[in-house]
Amino acid sequence: MIPISVCIITKNEAGNLQKCLESLQSYPFEIVVVDTGSTDNTVEIARRYTDRIYEFQWIDDFAAARNFAAGCASHELLFPIDSDEVLSSLDWAQLQAAAVAHPKSVGNVKRMDYYEADGTRKCYEVKIERLYDRRYYQYQGVIHEALVPTTDVPYTSYEAPIVIDHAGYLGNAEHLQEKAQRNLALLEKEIAKNPDDPYPYFQTAQSYLLMRDHESACSYFQAAIERGPSPSADYTRMLVNNYGHCLLDLDRPAEALSLLSYYEHYDDCMDYLCMIGLVYMMVGQPMRALPEFVKAISAPVRDSIDPRSPSYYVGYLYEFFGMKDIARTHYQNCGDYAPAVEALGRLENV
Protein backbone atom coordinates (compact mmCIF):
# COMPACT_ATOMS: atom_id res chain seq x y z
CA MET A 1 0.00 0.00 0.00
CA ILE A 2 1.20 3.49 -0.85
CA PRO A 3 0.77 5.66 2.28
CA ILE A 4 -0.93 9.02 1.77
CA SER A 5 -0.78 12.15 3.92
CA VAL A 6 -3.72 14.53 3.96
CA CYS A 7 -2.54 18.12 4.40
CA ILE A 8 -4.89 20.82 5.67
CA ILE A 9 -4.09 24.50 6.14
CA THR A 10 -6.69 26.30 8.25
CA LYS A 11 -7.57 29.41 10.21
CA ASN A 12 -10.69 30.03 12.29
CA GLU A 13 -12.56 27.18 10.61
CA ALA A 14 -14.09 25.57 13.69
CA GLY A 15 -17.48 25.57 11.99
CA ASN A 16 -16.23 23.47 9.06
CA LEU A 17 -13.13 21.58 10.17
CA GLN A 18 -14.86 18.86 12.15
CA LYS A 19 -17.01 17.86 9.14
CA CYS A 20 -13.90 17.78 6.98
CA LEU A 21 -11.90 15.64 9.39
CA GLU A 22 -14.82 13.34 10.09
CA SER A 23 -15.16 12.58 6.37
CA LEU A 24 -11.55 11.31 6.29
CA GLN A 25 -11.91 8.77 9.09
CA SER A 26 -12.91 5.80 6.93
CA TYR A 27 -9.52 5.77 5.20
CA PRO A 28 -5.96 5.10 6.46
CA PHE A 29 -4.67 8.63 5.90
CA GLU A 30 -2.06 10.39 7.93
CA ILE A 31 -3.63 13.77 8.75
CA VAL A 32 -1.47 16.90 8.97
CA VAL A 33 -3.10 20.16 10.08
CA VAL A 34 -1.30 23.48 9.75
CA ASP A 35 -2.92 26.40 11.57
CA THR A 36 -2.14 29.90 10.35
CA GLY A 37 -3.31 31.87 13.38
CA SER A 38 -6.72 30.73 14.59
CA THR A 39 -8.37 32.56 17.47
CA ASP A 40 -11.32 30.16 17.80
CA ASN A 41 -11.21 26.48 18.80
CA THR A 42 -9.99 25.22 15.42
CA VAL A 43 -6.83 23.70 16.92
CA GLU A 44 -8.78 21.96 19.70
CA ILE A 45 -11.03 20.34 17.11
CA ALA A 46 -8.02 19.22 15.07
CA ARG A 47 -6.51 17.53 18.16
CA ARG A 48 -9.48 15.17 18.30
CA TYR A 49 -8.37 13.65 15.00
CA THR A 50 -4.58 13.98 14.80
CA ASP A 51 -1.52 14.87 16.84
CA ARG A 52 0.31 16.20 13.78
CA ILE A 53 -0.62 19.86 14.23
CA TYR A 54 1.75 22.66 13.27
CA GLU A 55 1.75 26.45 13.24
CA PHE A 56 2.66 28.65 10.29
CA GLN A 57 2.79 32.44 10.37
CA TRP A 58 0.51 33.70 7.62
CA ILE A 59 2.39 35.75 5.00
CA ASP A 60 -0.38 36.28 2.42
CA ASP A 61 0.87 33.35 0.36
CA PHE A 62 -1.22 30.18 -0.01
CA ALA A 63 1.53 28.33 -1.88
CA ALA A 64 4.00 28.97 0.93
CA ALA A 65 1.53 27.58 3.48
CA ARG A 66 0.78 24.51 1.38
CA ASN A 67 4.45 23.80 0.80
CA PHE A 68 5.11 24.13 4.52
CA ALA A 69 2.33 21.61 5.21
CA ALA A 70 3.86 19.26 2.64
CA GLY A 71 7.15 19.40 4.53
CA CYS A 72 5.42 18.38 7.75
CA ALA A 73 4.03 15.15 6.28
CA SER A 74 5.63 11.74 6.81
CA HIS A 75 4.75 10.39 3.37
CA GLU A 76 5.67 11.43 -0.16
CA LEU A 77 2.19 11.14 -1.70
CA LEU A 78 0.05 14.05 -0.54
CA PHE A 79 -3.63 14.88 -0.67
CA PRO A 80 -4.36 18.52 0.28
CA ILE A 81 -7.93 19.29 1.30
CA ASP A 82 -9.44 22.50 2.66
CA SER A 83 -11.38 22.96 5.89
CA ASP A 84 -14.57 23.87 4.03
CA GLU A 85 -14.42 20.69 1.93
CA VAL A 86 -15.83 17.27 2.77
CA LEU A 87 -14.69 14.01 1.22
CA SER A 88 -17.86 12.72 -0.43
CA SER A 89 -16.61 9.51 -2.03
CA LEU A 90 -13.34 7.68 -2.55
CA ASP A 91 -12.52 4.26 -3.94
CA TRP A 92 -9.40 3.27 -2.01
CA ALA A 93 -8.47 0.27 -4.17
CA GLN A 94 -8.81 2.29 -7.37
CA LEU A 95 -6.86 5.16 -5.83
CA GLN A 96 -4.00 2.86 -4.90
CA ALA A 97 -3.97 1.39 -8.42
CA ALA A 98 -3.94 4.87 -9.97
CA ALA A 99 -1.11 6.01 -7.71
CA VAL A 100 0.96 2.99 -8.72
CA ALA A 101 0.21 3.52 -12.42
CA HIS A 102 0.99 7.27 -12.35
CA PRO A 103 3.81 7.78 -9.80
CA LYS A 104 5.04 11.08 -11.28
CA SER A 105 1.67 12.57 -12.27
CA VAL A 106 -0.85 14.79 -10.54
CA GLY A 107 -4.20 13.31 -9.60
CA ASN A 108 -7.29 15.38 -10.46
CA VAL A 109 -10.36 14.99 -8.27
CA LYS A 110 -13.95 16.06 -8.83
CA ARG A 111 -15.12 18.92 -6.61
CA MET A 112 -18.74 19.99 -6.29
CA ASP A 113 -18.80 23.74 -5.62
CA TYR A 114 -22.06 24.75 -3.94
CA TYR A 115 -23.30 28.33 -4.12
CA GLU A 116 -26.54 30.31 -3.94
CA ALA A 117 -28.09 32.21 -6.81
CA ASP A 118 -31.58 33.73 -6.96
CA GLY A 119 -32.33 32.19 -3.58
CA THR A 120 -31.55 28.68 -4.81
CA ARG A 121 -28.65 26.44 -3.90
CA LYS A 122 -26.78 25.39 -7.03
CA CYS A 123 -23.71 23.32 -7.76
CA TYR A 124 -20.83 23.63 -10.20
CA GLU A 125 -18.64 20.63 -10.93
CA VAL A 126 -14.92 21.26 -11.40
CA LYS A 127 -11.82 19.12 -11.70
CA ILE A 128 -8.94 20.22 -9.51
CA GLU A 129 -5.42 18.92 -9.00
CA ARG A 130 -5.02 17.43 -5.54
CA LEU A 131 -2.86 14.28 -5.38
CA TYR A 132 0.85 14.67 -5.92
CA ASP A 133 4.26 13.37 -4.93
CA ARG A 134 6.23 16.11 -3.16
CA ARG A 135 9.48 14.84 -4.67
CA TYR A 136 8.30 16.03 -8.09
CA TYR A 137 5.88 18.92 -7.48
CA GLN A 138 5.31 21.92 -5.26
CA TYR A 139 2.79 24.75 -5.11
CA GLN A 140 3.29 28.12 -6.77
CA GLY A 141 1.12 31.26 -6.56
CA VAL A 142 0.07 33.41 -3.63
CA ILE A 143 -3.63 32.65 -4.32
CA HIS A 144 -5.44 29.99 -6.37
CA GLU A 145 -2.11 28.24 -6.24
CA ALA A 146 -1.11 25.56 -8.76
CA LEU A 147 1.22 22.59 -8.72
CA VAL A 148 4.38 22.91 -10.79
CA PRO A 149 7.17 20.38 -11.38
CA THR A 150 10.31 20.79 -9.32
CA THR A 151 12.41 18.51 -11.51
CA ASP A 152 12.67 17.84 -15.24
CA VAL A 153 9.62 15.57 -14.97
CA PRO A 154 6.97 16.86 -17.41
CA TYR A 155 3.60 17.81 -15.91
CA THR A 156 1.06 15.04 -16.48
CA SER A 157 -2.22 14.22 -14.77
CA TYR A 158 -4.77 11.46 -14.26
CA GLU A 159 -8.31 11.15 -12.93
CA ALA A 160 -8.40 10.08 -9.29
CA PRO A 161 -11.52 8.29 -7.93
CA ILE A 162 -12.33 11.05 -5.42
CA VAL A 163 -15.29 13.43 -5.08
CA ILE A 164 -15.25 16.42 -2.72
CA ASP A 165 -18.13 18.65 -1.64
CA HIS A 166 -17.12 22.31 -1.24
CA ALA A 167 -19.27 24.70 0.80
CA GLY A 168 -16.89 27.66 0.77
CA TYR A 169 -19.21 29.79 -1.36
CA LEU A 170 -22.12 29.32 1.04
CA GLY A 171 -22.62 31.13 4.31
CA ASN A 172 -23.64 34.51 5.62
CA ALA A 173 -23.00 37.63 3.57
CA GLU A 174 -20.45 39.04 6.02
CA HIS A 175 -18.30 35.89 5.87
CA LEU A 176 -18.41 35.82 2.05
CA GLN A 177 -17.51 39.52 1.90
CA GLU A 178 -14.48 38.98 4.15
CA LYS A 179 -13.33 36.04 2.05
CA ALA A 180 -13.76 37.97 -1.18
CA GLN A 181 -11.92 41.03 0.14
CA ARG A 182 -9.01 38.86 1.28
CA ASN A 183 -8.83 37.25 -2.16
CA LEU A 184 -9.04 40.58 -3.97
CA ALA A 185 -6.08 42.00 -2.08
CA LEU A 186 -3.94 39.01 -3.08
CA LEU A 187 -5.23 38.99 -6.66
CA GLU A 188 -4.31 42.64 -7.13
CA LYS A 189 -0.71 41.67 -6.43
CA GLU A 190 -0.94 38.80 -8.92
CA ILE A 191 -2.30 41.08 -11.65
CA ALA A 192 0.46 43.63 -11.01
CA LYS A 193 3.02 40.85 -11.28
CA ASN A 194 1.49 39.14 -14.35
CA PRO A 195 -0.67 41.72 -16.16
CA ASP A 196 -1.02 39.61 -19.32
CA ASP A 197 -2.19 36.43 -17.59
CA PRO A 198 -6.00 36.05 -17.92
CA TYR A 199 -6.35 33.75 -14.91
CA PRO A 200 -6.04 36.32 -12.06
CA TYR A 201 -8.54 38.55 -13.87
CA PHE A 202 -10.95 35.62 -14.00
CA GLN A 203 -10.50 34.92 -10.30
CA THR A 204 -10.94 38.61 -9.49
CA ALA A 205 -14.25 38.55 -11.38
CA GLN A 206 -15.28 35.47 -9.42
CA SER A 207 -14.57 37.31 -6.17
CA TYR A 208 -16.73 40.23 -7.26
CA LEU A 209 -19.51 37.79 -8.12
CA LEU A 210 -19.21 36.46 -4.58
CA MET A 211 -19.77 40.05 -3.41
CA ARG A 212 -22.78 40.41 -5.78
CA ASP A 213 -20.97 43.24 -7.61
CA HIS A 214 -21.81 42.28 -11.18
CA GLU A 215 -20.57 45.49 -12.76
CA SER A 216 -17.03 44.96 -11.44
CA ALA A 217 -17.23 41.24 -12.20
CA CYS A 218 -18.08 41.96 -15.83
CA SER A 219 -15.16 44.35 -16.16
CA TYR A 220 -12.71 41.70 -15.00
CA PHE A 221 -14.34 38.91 -17.01
CA GLN A 222 -13.92 41.11 -20.07
CA ALA A 223 -10.28 41.80 -19.17
CA ALA A 224 -9.69 38.03 -18.88
CA ILE A 225 -11.33 37.38 -22.28
CA GLU A 226 -9.25 40.13 -23.90
CA ARG A 227 -6.09 38.35 -22.79
CA GLY A 228 -6.97 35.27 -24.83
CA PRO A 229 -7.39 32.39 -22.40
CA SER A 230 -7.00 29.00 -24.03
CA PRO A 231 -10.41 27.38 -24.66
CA SER A 232 -8.91 24.11 -23.44
CA ALA A 233 -7.87 25.57 -20.06
CA ASP A 234 -9.89 24.13 -17.18
CA TYR A 235 -11.29 27.49 -16.12
CA THR A 236 -12.12 29.07 -19.49
CA ARG A 237 -15.54 27.44 -19.96
CA MET A 238 -16.56 28.69 -16.51
CA LEU A 239 -15.21 32.12 -17.43
CA VAL A 240 -17.28 32.25 -20.63
CA ASN A 241 -20.48 30.98 -19.00
CA ASN A 242 -20.24 33.24 -15.97
CA TYR A 243 -19.41 36.27 -18.10
CA GLY A 244 -22.42 35.57 -20.30
CA HIS A 245 -24.80 35.26 -17.36
CA CYS A 246 -23.30 38.33 -15.73
CA LEU A 247 -24.03 40.37 -18.86
CA LEU A 248 -27.57 38.99 -18.99
CA ASP A 249 -28.14 39.91 -15.34
CA LEU A 250 -27.09 43.45 -16.21
CA ASP A 251 -29.43 43.49 -19.22
CA ARG A 252 -26.54 43.71 -21.69
CA PRO A 253 -27.30 40.71 -23.94
CA ALA A 254 -25.93 42.31 -27.13
CA GLU A 255 -22.45 42.29 -25.58
CA ALA A 256 -22.82 38.59 -24.76
CA LEU A 257 -23.20 37.79 -28.49
CA SER A 258 -19.40 38.10 -28.67
CA LEU A 259 -19.19 34.81 -26.75
CA LEU A 260 -20.43 32.99 -29.85
CA SER A 261 -16.75 32.93 -30.81
CA TYR A 262 -16.39 30.02 -28.35
CA TYR A 263 -19.20 28.00 -29.92
CA GLU A 264 -16.98 25.48 -31.69
CA HIS A 265 -15.23 24.72 -28.39
CA TYR A 266 -18.26 24.38 -26.11
CA ASP A 267 -21.12 23.25 -28.37
CA ASP A 268 -21.24 20.00 -26.38
CA CYS A 269 -21.85 21.83 -23.07
CA MET A 270 -25.40 22.20 -21.76
CA ASP A 271 -24.56 25.29 -19.72
CA TYR A 272 -22.98 27.12 -22.64
CA LEU A 273 -25.78 26.26 -25.09
CA CYS A 274 -28.44 27.42 -22.65
CA MET A 275 -26.55 30.64 -22.03
CA ILE A 276 -26.41 31.28 -25.79
CA GLY A 277 -30.11 30.45 -26.07
CA LEU A 278 -30.91 33.00 -23.38
CA VAL A 279 -28.79 35.59 -25.17
CA TYR A 280 -30.78 35.06 -28.38
CA MET A 281 -34.04 35.32 -26.43
CA MET A 282 -33.02 38.58 -24.81
CA VAL A 283 -31.95 40.18 -28.11
CA GLY A 284 -35.33 39.27 -29.62
CA GLN A 285 -34.32 36.27 -31.74
CA PRO A 286 -36.45 33.39 -30.34
CA MET A 287 -36.20 31.34 -33.55
CA ARG A 288 -32.42 31.24 -33.12
CA ALA A 289 -32.74 30.47 -29.42
CA LEU A 290 -34.93 27.37 -29.87
CA PRO A 291 -32.35 25.09 -31.58
CA GLU A 292 -29.77 25.94 -28.92
CA PHE A 293 -32.06 24.71 -26.15
CA VAL A 294 -33.01 21.63 -28.19
CA LYS A 295 -29.35 20.82 -28.69
CA ALA A 296 -28.67 21.41 -25.00
CA ILE A 297 -31.14 18.70 -23.96
CA SER A 298 -28.75 15.96 -25.13
CA ALA A 299 -25.44 17.80 -24.62
CA PRO A 300 -22.97 15.38 -22.96
CA VAL A 301 -21.14 17.99 -20.83
CA ARG A 302 -22.86 19.70 -17.92
CA ASP A 303 -21.40 21.93 -15.24
CA SER A 304 -23.88 23.55 -12.85
CA ILE A 305 -27.13 23.94 -14.75
CA ASP A 306 -30.20 21.91 -13.78
CA PRO A 307 -30.52 19.23 -16.51
CA ARG A 308 -34.25 20.01 -16.77
CA SER A 309 -33.63 23.62 -17.79
CA PRO A 310 -33.24 23.04 -21.54
CA SER A 311 -36.60 21.25 -21.78
CA TYR A 312 -38.22 24.05 -19.79
CA TYR A 313 -36.91 26.70 -22.17
CA VAL A 314 -38.02 24.67 -25.20
CA GLY A 315 -41.48 24.56 -23.65
CA TYR A 316 -41.33 28.27 -22.88
CA LEU A 317 -40.54 29.13 -26.49
CA TYR A 318 -43.25 26.89 -27.92
CA GLU A 319 -45.68 28.56 -25.52
CA PHE A 320 -44.41 31.92 -26.78
CA PHE A 321 -45.05 30.75 -30.36
CA GLY A 322 -48.62 29.82 -29.37
CA MET A 323 -48.04 26.04 -29.72
CA LYS A 324 -49.35 25.16 -26.28
CA ASP A 325 -49.71 21.38 -26.72
CA ILE A 326 -46.05 21.02 -27.66
CA ALA A 327 -45.11 23.39 -24.85
CA ARG A 328 -47.09 21.28 -22.36
CA THR A 329 -45.21 18.12 -23.41
CA HIS A 330 -41.83 19.74 -22.78
CA TYR A 331 -42.95 21.16 -19.45
CA GLN A 332 -44.15 17.70 -18.42
CA ASN A 333 -40.75 16.27 -19.34
CA CYS A 334 -39.29 18.50 -16.58
CA GLY A 335 -40.97 16.57 -13.77
CA ASP A 336 -41.13 18.59 -10.57
CA TYR A 337 -38.88 21.39 -11.86
CA ALA A 338 -40.52 24.43 -10.25
CA PRO A 339 -40.60 26.80 -13.29
CA ALA A 340 -42.16 24.03 -15.41
CA VAL A 341 -44.75 23.20 -12.75
CA GLU A 342 -45.68 26.89 -12.63
CA ALA A 343 -45.90 27.01 -16.43
CA LEU A 344 -48.20 23.96 -16.53
CA GLY A 345 -50.47 25.65 -14.02
CA ARG A 346 -50.50 28.73 -16.19
CA LEU A 347 -51.50 26.69 -19.26
CA GLU A 348 -54.30 24.96 -17.36
CA ASN A 349 -55.79 28.34 -16.49
CA VAL A 350 -55.76 29.59 -20.09
Q: What is the pLDDT along the chain (350 residues), one digit of tens a residue?
A: 999 999 999 999 998 999 999 999 999 999 999 999 999 999 999 999 999 999 999 999 999 999 999 999 999 999 999 999 999 999 999 999 999 999 999 999 999 988 776 666 777 778 899 999 999 999 998 888 899 999 999 999 999 999 999 987 666 666 677 777 888 989 998 899 899 999 999 999 988 887 889 999 999 999 999 999 999 987 899 999 999 999 999 999 999 999 999 999 999 999 999 999 999 999 999 999 999 999 999 999 988 889 999 999 999 999 999 999 999 999 999 999 999 999 999 988 76
> In CATH terms, is domain 173-348 a member of 1.25.40.10?
yes
According to CATH, the topology of domain 4-169 is Spore Coat Polysaccharide Biosynthesis Protein SpsA; Chain A (3.90.550)
| Domain ranges within the chain, ordered by starting residue | 4-169, 173-348
C-alpha 289/C-alpha 285 separation (Å) is 6
C-alpha 263/C-alpha 149 separation (Å) is 33
Is the entire prediction scored with pTM above 0.75?
yes
- 216: CB partners within 8 A, 6+ apart: 205, 208
Domain 173-348 in the same topology as domain 4-169: no
**Beta strand 146-149 with 137-140: parallel, antiparallel or unpaired?**
antiparallel
CA–chain centroid gap for 340, Å, is: 27
